[in-house]
Structure 1
Amino acid sequence: MADVDVCPICNSTVDDWSHALINCNMVKCVWSLLEEDLVEHVIACNIPDAKLWLLEMVDSTKEEEFLKILVTLWATWWVRRKAIHEQEYQSPLSTYCFTEKYLNDLALISAKEEKPPAVVPSRMDLGSRRTWAPPVRGCAKLMVDAAISKNHEKGAYAVVCRDEKGVYQGASAVVVEDQVTAEILEALALASDLNRTKV
């Protein structure tokens, strides 16, 4: 927590929630890229209590506008924290583009949810298009993958176990220190905690 009431970005002597999210010079640049009417409405509402301010925004804006306000507040808060605590600065245009992409993704998800659910074929219906081949009868199949960090100091492996009918039996994911090859990690996954002997 800060021990002084000064904005570490623009040195304003009032660093409250509205300054941090709306009035700081850094975030003003992001807001300036949004629709002028919406921004003027956000700025004009000078209710000091954050909860009451949000309730006023809910009551006085359309659902799409309110969602845009929320995502912009969230994105500018994240950018501000990165700048203050990690000295990583992002351009206002990058922040704006992030919010637009995020809102577009949310709109796509909403559109998909409104469509009736598609009929998903069973494994038996997939025929030659099947991507998962069952193991021999009485055995389980382990699907294994592993990855290594960029600095080669850590690795991770994961395994998912299914029986011959494709029924999920269990899974395991482990982070390992000092393992530098995917082959070693995948071998370790085979000895995971699933306790299957016929695989």
Structure 2
Amino acid sequence: MTTYNLTVRNDSNEPWDIFTFQKNPLLNLNSPALVSLAWFTKYTAAHSQAKFTWELDYNFMWSNTGDLTPGVVFEASQSFPADPFVAGLATASKAGDQAILSYHQEQDYFEFTNDGLLVLPSPGTLYVSSDSSVPNGIASVGIGMSNAGTFALPALTNITAEFTPDPTYYVAASVSMQQGQVLEEEISNAVELQFAGVTSLVATFNPDHTWSVSTS
């Protein structure tokens, strides 16, 4: 599996929380409630650098977030391997293109389960079905890459959330950012990372708070 590397150089005169995130225009059009999450974050001192590394391996995730509003942190309570081209139910040890979320009211906990009806899949899409036991407005479901959350949707009773991975990568700087934090729809100082024929990039945060991206 291909490994991607991003080196971030903080050449500004201030410390920053550097964070990466993903956008998926197709999903934003089809699922207005979809939110992007702060994918990887690292605190960087002025005139220092940090490195981010990932592979194209996907995960199903859920979290007790309440409302998915900007600033809320999606902290995965459970994570199963996912593969948009392997038909079937994912388990803790086996990737699939579907997962089913259940809620146990008496003990007050959620879990991915192996009981429930599967949807007729479309190759390339990941599905998380919330069954009839799942109450609205308490949990969220999502997908991640390299065991870190990238996108999330509210978990709704008897609703199947669909995710079609086709990510575009971005890096940005923030005064304060946590991994998994729900992002605003627009990030003012973000820059797109285009891995066109390469697997490693260098992003430099300049003294004037603009970005420069290069292959070395």
Give the TM-score normalised by the residue count of structure 1: 0.22
Structure having greater relative contact order (Cα 8 Å, sep ≥ 6): 2
Point out the structure with the larger helix share.
1
Structure number with larger C-alpha Rg: 1
Structure in which a larger fraction of residues adopt strand: 2
TM-score by length of 2: 0.21
